[in-house]
Amino acid sequence: MSQPNQLKLIPSVDKLLSSAAFRNTIEVYGHTRTSQSIREYLSSLRSQIRENDGHPIPAMEDIAVIITTSLDAIDTSSLRPVLNLTGTVLHTNLGRAALPSSALDAVIRTASGNTNLEFDLSEGKRGDRDDHVEKLLCELTGAEAVTVVNNNAAAVLICLNTFAFGKEVCISRGELVEIGGSFRIPEVMEKSGCSLRELGATNRTHLKDYANAVNEHTGLLMKVHTSNYEIRGFTQEVSYEALARLAKESDVPFLADLGSGTLVNLEHYGLEHEPTVQEVLKAGTDVVTFSGDKLLGGPQSGIIAGRKDLIEQVKNNPLKRALRVDKMTIAALSEVLKLYKHPESLTRELPTIRHLARRPEEIRSISETVLPAFTESAGDKATVSIIPSASQIGSGALPLDQLPSFSIQIKPISERDSALQQLARSFRDMPVPVVGRLQDGALLFDVRTLDECALLIDQLEHFAWP
């Protein structure tokens, strides 16, 4: 088979490396990386030419730009801070909870050297990393014992595997939830070695459904807080108290996955009631699991709290080692928990609670602070105004609860959808990307979660409107 003619015209690696066009690239990235990158580029260029003999061969200067851009991109950190103005306070794709400054300081202190992570300083012996948060968590939740793993999905997995491996788990059909990102209760059950015993109907489950299902194969009764949807209308679910009683009579443990799990009564902040960890444990639930970075407002982690003998079993499960948290998480979590000992200061000190509790008047005043910068920057490219809007908690908590808020609304002069998309994209291209949401033909920036007004105003001064 004859070679396409174009192939013969491709410059060699050596020729490119010795050309003036590459001098700067080699100076910045070194000979080895540059030649490796050239080789990869030429190989993909060859395949494109084999597919299409007419494919053009860029000039050496253009090849140098392509190579330099790709090396630049590799060396630029892809993980960047962004401003979350989507209106979803706990946005999973944007990294959920922002940590308070005391937690950040603790992370730096702990991560920059060695710590007594698993070392008992008074005895000079091996300790347990859970020790640094267990006392605080027991005090705050009323649990006898606590252990912490990498996230709440891990907490559910290890609990199922510990309490019901090879056995049946009784759970209501209405609670077989899927959390965004492919965490489905039935699938986690299978992976943890348990079999699912679905009870009742999607909308209604009764105590007798559980009572009839319990037999010698039952390993666990489970209740999952339906955190990202709500079934309304003709519904019936069984209370924590009733299930706890049945579990005791049947001599099987009762596990509740709270998902978000809050330590404070959200009604204090004008939100709807969400069962607190304390309430659910007080109802007699043996073990509860909840996330560290949802309503708690801490680092990514999964907290398992409850009866001492059961928590001990979880700690002794070999999976615990695979799912354990690192020292930075322990350091941050411990500081966040300390804030809960002074609940009156949470709205000041803890970003998640501060954002959730923000009153509409305050949000309106934030939007008035940034409005002039938007208006001035937009010029005649767009109309800018403040509109009432609704934020949500996110990460599954109180899915139907809409929090009254205010947003900066931007409407490009051109009514084409592409103009709106381009506008949203330009804001995402800012040095600190600003992420909003599209609604009713406009770009909305919900300022409930905005703490960095000066940064945003400064970015707007240098913003090139599309």
Site residues for ligand PLP per CB under 6 A: 151-153, 156, 177, 179, 183, 224-225, 227, 257, 259-260, 291, 302, 395-396
Q: Shortest gap between Cβ of 273 and ligand PLP (angstroms)?
A: 17
Nearer to ligand PLP, 396 or 412 (CB): 396
Q: Shortest gap between Cβ of 206 and ligand PLP (angstroms)?
A: 22
Strands of the sheet containing 397-412, edge to edge, are 382-394, 397-412, 442-446, 437-439
Q: At what angle do helices 152-164 and 308-316 cross, to 10 degrees?
A: 100
Q: Shortest gap between Cβ of 333 and ligand PLP (angstroms)?
A: 13
Strands (E), 142-286: 145-149, 168-172, 178-179, 183-184, 195-199, 218-224, 254-259
Q: Shortest gap between Cβ of 308 and ligand PLP (angstroms)?
A: 24
Asked if 38 and 16 count as a contact pair (C-beta separation under 8 A), the reply is yes
Exposure string (b/e) for 174-202, b if CB count within 10 Å is 16 or more?
A: bbbbebeeeeebeebbeebebebbbbbee
Nearer to ligand PLP, 37 or 291 (CB): 291
- Phi/psi at 221 (5° precision): -100, 135
Q: Shortest gap between Cβ of 245 and ligand PLP (angstroms)?
A: 23
Q: Shortest gap between Cβ of 182 and ligand PLP (angstroms)?
A: 11
- Does residue 204 come out as left (phi exceeding 0), alpha (psi in the -120 to 50 range) or beta? beta
Nearer to ligand PLP, 64 or 154 (CB): 154
Nearer to ligand PLP, 148 or 384 (CB): 148
Nearer to ligand PLP, 49 or 256 (CB): 256
Q: Shortest gap between Cβ of 187 and ligand PLP (angstroms)?
A: 12
Distance in angstroms (rounded) separating the CA atoms of residues 6 and 46: 9
Write the DSSP assignment of 418-448 as a string of letters.
Answer: HHHHHHHHHHHTSSS-EE-EEETTEEEEEGG
Nearer to ligand PLP, 171 or 246 (CB): 171
Nearer to ligand PLP, 280 or 370 (CB): 280
Residue type, 15: K
DSSP secondary structure letter of residue 82 = -
